[in-house]
Amino acid sequence: MTNKPIRVRFAPSPTGPLHIGGVRTALYNYLFAKKHGGTMILRIEDTDQGRFVPGAEDYIIESLEWCGIRFDEGVNTGGPHAPYRQSDRKSLYKEYSDKLIASGHAYYAFDTPEELDELRKMAEASKQTFTYNAVTRKNLRNSLNMSPQEVEQKIGEGMPYVVRFRIPENREVVMNDLIRGKVVVKTETLDDKVLFKSDGMPTYHLANIVDDHLMEISHVIRGEEWLPSLPLHILLYQAFGWQEPEFAHLPLLLKPDGNGKLSKRDGDRLGFPVFPLKWKDPFTGEISSGYRESGYFPDAFVNMLALLGWNPGTEQELFSMDELIQSFSLERVGKAGSKFDPEKTKWFNHQYLIRKSNRELAADFRKIIDSKGFKPDDNTLEKIVELLKERVNFVPELWNEGSFFFQQPETYDEQVIKKRWKAESADQMTALAAFLSSVEPFDSATLDQALKSWIESNAMNMGAIMNVLRLLLVGAAKGPHLADIMAILGKEETIRRIQRGVATIVQL
């Protein structure tokens, strides 16, 4: 590690909703910064105007806020290197492009898009790919093949141009990645990428390097998809004579079967979100689901993401944000891609759910209960939540598991009737209702005892009675412990449901 102050940045392009892979990149940057007492920066890279999507920047900011990832400097926060949105820094990049031209590291190219297209097509026809490089640039319309007067004249006439980086010939670029180790690339394999366009806009490569330098970034932590750009970036640092930051390229998030990068289509196909928040495409109106709207707790979501690519080296799986900050290190980020596991993701939410207090869960659940028009008291709702929470992964599932606490069964499960309802059931249940009217107090422990002795003294079968009783109270063969349900329903409602159930079922 260098002795420079630790400064990292998350640098998304607002070209759509933030994929969970992007959230993970932001998270690892955040954990690394906080662990080392460093600074976390949010920079918006919006130089590619053709790919700009309205609403995407706000979406990114809201997503990171939901996750609890905080920035010390950035678009909304401000800071000593403001502005932090590249389109607001536009006037700054030309100077750097000019510097590279002056030092011979870059050149003007006047080839039209049509000419380049033609070259690409010709190459394709002979099963090759066209690259603008040390060989081809000798025969193309660029300043390397023109007199300075000619170049000046063309620019003066307003002829559109791009500035291309002049990849040095016959060199090896040696890169040190904190996750991948040493990587060496020969410059023959690289092409003369565009750095700047005559409309005054830099490309990603130039703006990214200039800003990382000006913002004094010490560590660039980003997705593996940027690894192919690293040789160019290193060469750019060298061309400017700047010290390069450390680099760490994070492994990809893979589809659940491990075959390729996790995409939005996998989420649609397999029924899980790949975005942190719901997103509505401003052009097509298409809606994509989000973790927040699907009932995930942000801390569970963050915990799950942290372990997709990093491991603590112990068996521990549950980490608060503070614990993640304490434990995180880039050394324990793997090289191989991590398979996304939708079931494990639910498991994390379940773990967080069962650890929430009944009071907190009841407050969340009350929003759903309210919308259904029920008004249980806090105490009752907390008891219900306590009984149900082991059975669910998400708060809204509490309703599916326990709606019978609030409303009597409308129907009775036919399969259960067929299997459990016997000729004697109606009489037995009527007798049981009469007996229950004498049980006092009507709490779970007393009910357990009372039911047991009533069944025994009448020489009845425990299983048979309990299954039919459950059918009448719940409408199906589900739910928590029966005496707990009865205690919550109360004596009057329990007896009413038994009588109503018997009356309904005998008529079927």
Q: Which is nearer to ligand GLU, 308 or 436 (CB)?
A: 308
Catalytic residue among 261, 264, 344, 478: 264
Q: Which of 52, 130, 226, 242 binds ligand GLU (CB under 6 A)?
A: 226
Binding segment toward ligand GLU, per CB under 6 A, in 8-16, 144-152, 177-185, 281-289: 8-16
Instruction: In angstroms, give the least distance from the CB of 443 to ligand GLU.
Output: 59
Does the footprint of ligand GLU cover residue 201 (CB under 6 A)? no
Q: Which is nearer to ligand GLU, 9 or 166 (CB)?
A: 9
Site string for ligand GLU, 298-337 (x = CB under 6 A): ----------------------------------------
Q: Which residues of 134-153 are buried (b: 16+ CB within 10 A; e: fewer)?
A: beebeebbbbeebeeeebee
Q: Which of 208, 218, 327, 428 binds ligand GLU (CB under 6 A)?
A: 208
Q: Which of 8, 12, 96, 387 binds ligand GLU (CB under 6 A)?
A: 12
Q: Which of 105, 193, 219, 222 binds ligand GLU (CB under 6 A)?
A: 222
Q: Which is nearer to ligand GLU, 9 or 164 (CB)?
A: 9
In this structure, the number of other CB atoms found within 10 A of the CB of residue 192 comes to 24
Does the footprint of ligand GLU cover residue 218 (CB under 6 A)? no
- Tokens, residue 271: 């029924």
Q: Which is nearer to ligand GLU, 25 or 444 (CB)?
A: 25
Instruction: In angstroms, give the least distance from the CB of 485 to ligand GLU.
Output: 52
Q: Nearest CA to 90 among 211, 193, 220, 8?
A: 211
Does the footprint of ligand GLU cover residue 47 (CB under 6 A)? no
Q: Which residues of 226-262 are buried (b: 16+ CB within 10 A; e: fewer)?
A: bbebbbbbbbbbebbeeebbbbbbbbbbbbeeeeeeb
Does the footprint of ligand GLU cover residue 52 (CB under 6 A)? no
Binding segment toward ligand GLU, per CB under 6 A, in 5-13, 34-42, 178-186, 376-384: 5-13
Q: Which of 6, 45, 251, 301 binds ligand GLU (CB under 6 A)?
A: 45
- Say whether 99 is catalytic: no
Would you list the DSSP string of 23-81? Answer: HHHHHHHHHHHHHTT-EEEE-B----GGG--TTHHHHHHHHHHHHT---SEETTTB-TT
Instruction: In angstroms, give the least distance from the CB of 325 to ligand GLU.
Output: 21
Q: Which residues contact 503 (CB under 8 A, 6 or more apart)?
A: none
Does the footprint of ligand GLU cover residue 237 (CB under 6 A)? no
CA separation for the pair 163, 198 (Å, rounded) = 8
Classify residue 424 by burial, with Cβ atoms within 10 Å: 0-12, 13-18, 19+. Answer: exposed
Does the footprint of ligand GLU cover residue 246 (CB under 6 A)? no
Q: Which residues of 35-73 are buried (b: 16+ CB within 10 A; e: fewer)?
A: bbebbbbbbbbbbeeeeebeebbebbbebbebbebebeb
Does the footprint of ligand GLU cover residue 97 (CB under 6 A)? no
Q: Which of 6, 13, 277, 365 binds ligand GLU (CB under 6 A)?
A: 13
Classify residue 317 by burial, with Cβ atoms within 10 Å: 0-12, 13-18, 19+. Answer: middle
Q: Which is nearer to ligand GLU, 45 or 266 (CB)?
A: 45
In terms of DSSP H, where are the helices of 408-481?
414-420, 425-436, 444-457, 462-474
Residue ranges in contact with ligand GLU by CB under 6 A: 11-13, 45, 208, 222, 226
Q: Which residues are catalytic?
A: 264
